[in-house]
Structure 1
Amino acid sequence: MRGLRPQPTPIPWAAVARAAVALAAPLAVGLATDRPLYGALVSMGALSGVIGDTADAYRMRILNIAVPQLFGALGVTLGSLVYGQGWVAVGALTLIALASGMISSIGAVASVSGLLLLLNAVVGAGLPMPSPWWKAPLLLTLGGAVVLVLTLLGWPLRGGVPERAAVAAAYRAVADLLAAAGTPAYDERRQAVTQALNTAYDLVLARRARDHGRAPTLVRRLAQLNALIPVVEAAPAAHLGGRPLPAAIPAAVRALATAVEDPRAGRGAAVAVAVAVEDPHPGPGAHTPRRPPATTTPPGRGHALPEPAERAVDHALRHAATVVHGGDPDPHNADDHVGRPAALRVRARRAARAVLLSEGSWRYGLRLALCIGLAQSLVSLIAVPRSYWVALTVTFVLKPDFGSVFSRAVLRALGTAAGLVVAAAVLAEVPRGWWDVPVMMVLAALIPAFSAKGYVFQTAAITPVILLLSDWLNRQGFGLVLPRLYDSLIGCAIVLVAGYLLWPESWRTRIGDRLADTVEDAARYVACAFGPETDAGARGRARRRLYRDLSAVRSEFQRALTEPPPTGTRAAAWWPLCVAVERVVDATTAARVRVSHGAPPPAPEEVADIERQLRELATRLRTGRAPAEVPVGPGPEADEESVLTPLRQEVGAARAIASPRHDGP
């Protein structure tokens, strides 16, 4: 039901204008040159480019649009070679589906590339293409090139703006987190910070040059992001104080966000930071600090803000202000918090290993190949008009990185029905010819506008565009409408049966295994955070990996909730434990921050005991029982004055939730 409600996102007007021009202009040129078929093929290529243009940074858009177009050209070439070949076409498309599914497991660009490889292969095998063989891939690629050129027109004017906006959004999310410290809204705000940091790091780090000296602007953005990490680490320590921070502190972080977005606003940000924090080393005659006196009471919920946490917030905020307003950062120290990216050849080897040796890659590839093989076999045995729509529906629905297969199948059926209402009116009332150009401009503009609202709205917007272009290829007019509906319903049914019901993983959540991996990483993070020889960079990288893992667990949880019983019901039972593990990570970070700012370090035995308890919890999540060789108990006598007291409490809460006596997972 949530998928039927439009998301409250702004309309991307620039993308709306690009889509209208990119899809309507080739059609107009084709009509003017008396080659409407060629114009329709260029528009179909442009449609793929419009759908794939989801990145923000311009350097990422080049790959997001250009690379999938090359795979699409290969797909339509392979498909046209087996056009009208009967069972040979069935076998060829099944093998292409296997390769497409395995490629899709590498990453975002590879996922879109695999999608276009299979989509265009299905179209090439289901529709007659102009001869010679190279015309169709050339025309489709030309359509993608049109979108790419229109996209890059704004680069000279808006280069770097998406990166600055993403970094500034991360600062504002941290400001909201600090404002929520000591309140029940903290957990929700921390999740928003994780998402904002993930987005900003992905945008800044992706595709950057290996030599930072060649890209000083990206170095500055990365340094600004890294300067935000100590503020994020200090937030849990402040939250454990149990009372809100002074309002000037989040206001200062918002001022830094403004300075990141607009460097000319730097003066106001510097003043805000100076007001928010006191000089940690006041000279003679300095004013009395405005903050309440520090306390030595052990941290815990409901206690006053401890002095180490207070110093951590002050130092982190001053450091962030120095980086934001300072000179050029050191290019060799700009990525200590996330690790220097591997060389391109190393990443290529990793990607190849992930495709060929990953169980998940083979599982999804076989799953997609089975559904495509069934779809093509069905239309080979039964006379289905415009049979390629069945396989197209299977391809769109069965995408693992697009969310729940079950909900996508249902939403696609509903979106197709809604889009067919518009398509029926267009095909019945608008005569083929020049009237199609303004109609295409309007329909194409709806695609990016509706795509931001949700999958069902995107499907409803794309359906009439595809039908209008298909009508130029086969000249069936209104007769396309009902076959399109039947084929979509058949494709959704194949996915629900062969791609969902027959796979055991569809009937159980994968949250438990993923959460167990995260708990094991949390145990390693505890050892890393209080190890005698661990540097700050290693701790920062371990913490970022943990929060990314938790974000992935949360996404899996949201996906599982949309599944029908029993999967959705079982997923709901995991939520309290997901929250408990997140609090364990927060408590570890808070303890590390307090130790770094003057609190007595914990005893090695206490650290080892907490690490042992977390590993026991990970084992319980995987097997449903505690490990027999290690007794489950409270461990050595705990010092209530220890800096790890809040962490022990959170670990105990997580273990209680996972206990067989608890009415939970």
Structure 2
Amino acid sequence: MSGPRWVRELARQQHLPVPWMRMVRVAVAISLPVTLGAVFGQLGLGLLVSIGALAGSVTDAEGTMRSRVARVGWATTGGFIGFVLGGLIAGHPLLTASCVVAGGLVGGILSLQGAVASVASLQFLIYLIVASGADFGDVPAWLPPVGYVVGASWAVLLAVVESRVLASDPGRDAVADVYARLADYMAACGGTTNTGDARNRLTLAMNRAYDIVTTSRARVGGRDPHIRRQAAFLNAATPVIEVTTMRAVSSRGIPPEIIAWVRDMSARIARADPPVDLLWLAVLERPEWRDLAAGLEAVDELARHNARAATTPAAEPSPITRAMRLPGATTAQTTLRARLVGVRDAIAGGRETWTPILRLVLCLVVGEIVAALYTGERPYWIVMTIAVTLKPDFGSVFARAVQRGIGTVLGVLIGSALLALSPGHVVPLIAIVVFAALMPFAQRRNYGLFTVFLTPVIVMLLDLGAGGGFDLAIGRVSDTAVGCLIVLVVGYLPWPDTWRSRSRFGPRIARAAAALADYIRIGFGTVPGVRQTARRQAYRELSDLRTKLQQALSEPPPVSRTAAGWWPVIVALERAVDATTAIILHGDAAAVDPDEVERLAAAADGIGDAARGTVTDPAPQLLQDPMLEPLTAELRAGQAVFRRGDE
């Protein structure tokens, strides 16, 4: 695709498998209630239930069924409260505006408590706005919130049925994906393929798997044997990943037989099949492959023990299974006191905490003023556009504003055209099925594409009963444009942090550099700690940093240009982690002088200080130690970025 890089980033899609079953489930969840309502003469009730099913489907995410139900449950609770409050204040313009602004403030604070709280607060704000502005016809005041809850519960019920019918296990699938990405990483070693991209995909898979398995294990107290097996397989992959990293650093390839075995193991973990036999891998008997043999034999032993345990449930876990410990796993339950402490800390937070919240509140104030002066049929659409686009923790404001603006324009035109040109309800109902099915396909691929499919569904659910025309379509388009314009002009352009790359990325780069320094100290044994845990933490920080920079690349210059200037630092830090692993696995860690280890760690900390802007020269100077040259070379590369004065 031609054009400036930031334009290409706006249109870039994530390449992910097509979620066929989820597409079918979401289509049924959203379309069936409104279809039954139309058939039995209760269209209004069917629309309300479908609105709830839409909310339940959109807020559903990957994870264990328990975590998914909890996420949708809290989101539904937030939406229910918003529906009730919005119905109470409907028809009172000043009270409505005050409550919406206050809801944005409270929702912004609650968003800091985690992903679930963020989704719940957004649903609260959206349905507060919708219920206070939309016309649901001559129905009792209690019916819209109750219909919403019934619809969301219907969506959850279908998700539970799907998981039972397909016997799906998110933890098992996530662990299998780790082995699949490991095989890709192995295939990239020693060839022309970029090993950095393969390693990044492996890191993302590891992050996702650890999040799912750790959460599951914490909730059951570590007692579930299936979760213990998932944790064991996940941890057993770590030594193999480390050896693969060492070979990637030295540009040494890995035999196709080993790669094929790892891919087969991935498939068998996903299907819970008996293990494949390692004996046919005669290549592992060669001296040059003994470094990989130990890790792969451990995986094989674990698979065989689990196959035996499946036929003998009372069998004791093997030593390798007992030895597996998930980093960060805990059996402590989150208490109300801990939540309140989190809210208190958020309120007491500094500038970095309050700036995005104040942006949201200020834009909502401006949006309410504009809506009060507006003569359109659905002025609440302006404020709802602001709420969804400027959510503090939902990625690039500019990208979401542009993608939502373009996507909503297309979606409104499609939805309104179907309502205006199609007599009766048959064609719109068919369209709801189609667009609802396409939503899961687009949700993780591109926000703009997701909006194109989501908006016609919203338009038809809100206007199918009242009818719609091209005048309403033009009104929706103009409302969206006004909302996005307010976000850009009030919530994006005037704020200094928008344009200062150091304030946006410096603290995150500093955290990643500090994680590297910890890994160097722990890996070389100068401070106590678990090497694999420290390495994983370093990669997790770098993975999060990559995500933030990728979002910034979709913004126009100078933001995208300065964000691109940080990439050499990230690359240097990632390669420094790889180099540290390679030196340690070569058995050279014990021969390194502790003073030199501290010098290396201080160099990593110095890169973090330079990113924050607290120093101008990321000292110290590094020694010319041949054994440490791969690591020192990457640290020097990171230092050189700041010595050139780049940001």
TM (norm. structure 2) is: 0.90
Mapped partners of 1:564, 1:519: distance in 2: 27
Change (3 A) 1:121 1:311: same
> Is residue 521–residue 527 contact of structure 2 (8 Å, CA) maintained in 1?
no
Mapped partners of 1:430, 1:276: distance in 2: 67
Match of 2:299 in 1: 320
1:232-243 matched pairs, under 5 angstroms = 232-243=241-252
The one-letter amino acid paired with 2:213 is V
Match of 1:592 in 2: 584
The one-letter amino acid paired with 2:558 is P
Mapped partners of 1:101, 1:15: distance in 2: 30
Match of 1:470 in 2: 462
1:132 offset after TM fit, Å?
A: 4.5
Mapped partners of 1:314, 1:419: distance in 2: 55
1:482 offset after TM fit, Å?
A: 0.9
Match of 2:510 in 1: 516
Match of 2:366 in 1: 374
Match of 2:646 in 1: 664
Mapped partners of 2:98, 2:153: distance in 1: 31
Mapped partners of 2:483, 2:606: distance in 1: 45
Number of residues of Structure 1 aligned to a counterpart in Structure 2:
623
Compare 72-81 and 126-135 and name the one that shifted more: 126-135
Indicate yes or no: 2:540 matched with 1:548.
yes
Mapped partners of 1:72, 1:31: distance in 2: 25
The one-letter amino acid paired with 1:570 is T
Change (3 A) 1:472 1:242: closer
Match of 1:204 in 2: 213
SS class of match (2:253): coil
SS class of match (1:664): coil
Mapped partners of 1:486, 1:539: distance in 2: 56
Match of 1:348 in 2: 339
> Is residue 23–residue 43 contact of structure 1 (8 Å, CA) maintained in 2?
yes
Indicate yes or no: 2:75 matched with 1:68.
yes
1:406 offset after TM fit, Å?
A: 0.7
> Is residue 337–residue 540 contact of structure 1 (8 Å, CA) maintained in 2?
no
1:432 offset after TM fit, Å?
A: 3.9
1:433-452 matched pairs, under 5 angstroms = 433=425, 436-452=428-444
The one-letter amino acid paired with 1:108 is A
Compare 523-532 and 113-122 and name the one that shifted more: 523-532
> Is residue 52–residue 65 contact of structure 1 (8 Å, CA) maintained in 2?
yes
> Is residue 214–residue 326 contact of structure 2 (8 Å, CA) maintained in 1?
no
1:386 offset after TM fit, Å?
A: 0.6
Match of 1:633 in 2: 621
Match of 1:256 in 2: 265
Mapped partners of 2:237, 2:341: distance in 1: 30
> Is residue 77–residue 137 contact of structure 1 (8 Å, CA) maintained in 2?
yes
CA deviations 1:177-225 (Å, max 9, x no partner) are 2232344522221111101111211222224444545311111111100
> Is residue 447–residue 461 contact of structure 1 (8 Å, CA) maintained in 2?
yes
SS class of match (1:340): coil
1:229 offset after TM fit, Å?
A: 0.9
* Bigger radius of gyration among the two: 1
1:128 offset after TM fit, Å?
A: 4.0
Mapped partners of 1:349, 1:332: distance in 2: 36
Change (3 A) 1:354 1:477: farther
SS class of match (2:377): coil
> Is residue 175–residue 253 contact of structure 1 (8 Å, CA) maintained in 2?
yes
The one-letter amino acid paired with 1:529 is G
The correspondence for 1:602, drawn from 574, 580, 592, is 592
Change (3 A) 1:335 1:350: farther
Change (3 A) 1:72 1:329: farther
The correspondence for 2:348, drawn from 336, 357, 363, is 357
Change (3 A) 1:336 1:209: closer
Mapped partners of 1:449, 1:196: distance in 2: 19
> Is residue 371–residue 379 contact of structure 2 (8 Å, CA) maintained in 1?
yes
Match of 1:304 in 2: none
1:74-473 matched pairs, under 5 angstroms = 74-129=81-136, 132-183=140-191, 185-268=194-277, 270-271=278-279, 274-278=281-285, 289=286, 291=287, 311-327=290-306, 328=317, 333-340=323-330, 342-345=332-335, 348=339, 351-353=342-344, 355-359=346-350, 360-433=352-425, 436-472=428-464
The correspondence for 1:616, drawn from 587, 598, 606, is 606
> Is residue 222–residue 334 contact of structure 1 (8 Å, CA) maintained in 2?
yes
Match of 1:284 in 2: none
1:508 offset after TM fit, Å?
A: 2.5
The one-letter amino acid paired with 1:46 is A
Compare 340-349 and 137-146 and name the one that shifted more: 340-349
Mapped partners of 2:294, 2:465: distance in 1: 66
> Is residue 11–residue 452 contact of structure 1 (8 Å, CA) maintained in 2?
no
1:500-579 matched pairs, under 5 angstroms = 500-509=492-501, 510-531=504-525, 534-535=528-529, 538-579=530-571
Change (3 A) 1:546 1:350: farther
The one-letter amino acid paired with 1:645 is E
Change (3 A) 1:159 1:208: farther
Change (3 A) 1:445 1:244: closer
Indicate yes or no: 2:482 matched with 1:490.
yes
Mapped partners of 1:311, 1:333: distance in 2: 22
Match of 2:309 in 1: none
1:74 offset after TM fit, Å?
A: 0.4
Mapped partners of 2:44, 2:414: distance in 1: 23
Change (3 A) 1:446 1:634: closer
| Structural RMSD (CA) | 2.6
Mapped partners of 2:64, 2:532: distance in 1: 25
| Structure 1 or 2: more helix by fraction | 2
SS class of match (1:502): coil
1:23-34 matched pairs, under 5 angstroms = 23-34=30-41
SS class of match (2:591): coil
Mapped partners of 2:88, 2:540: distance in 1: 44
> Is residue 617–residue 626 contact of structure 1 (8 Å, CA) maintained in 2?
no
1:469 offset after TM fit, Å?
A: 1.6
SS class of match (2:275): helix
Mapped partners of 1:617, 1:12: distance in 2: 42
Match of 1:295 in 2: none
Give identity over the alignment, percent.
33
- Where do 5+ consecutive residues of structure 2 fail to align? 1-6, 307-316
Compare 99-108 and 539-548 and name the one that shifted more: 99-108
SS class of match (1:385): coil
1:599 offset after TM fit, Å?
A: 6.4
1:434 offset after TM fit, Å?
A: 5.5
SS class of match (1:399): coil
TM (norm. structure 1) is: 0.87
Mapped partners of 1:423, 1:157: distance in 2: 34
The one-letter amino acid paired with 1:326 is H
1:487 offset after TM fit, Å?
A: 0.3
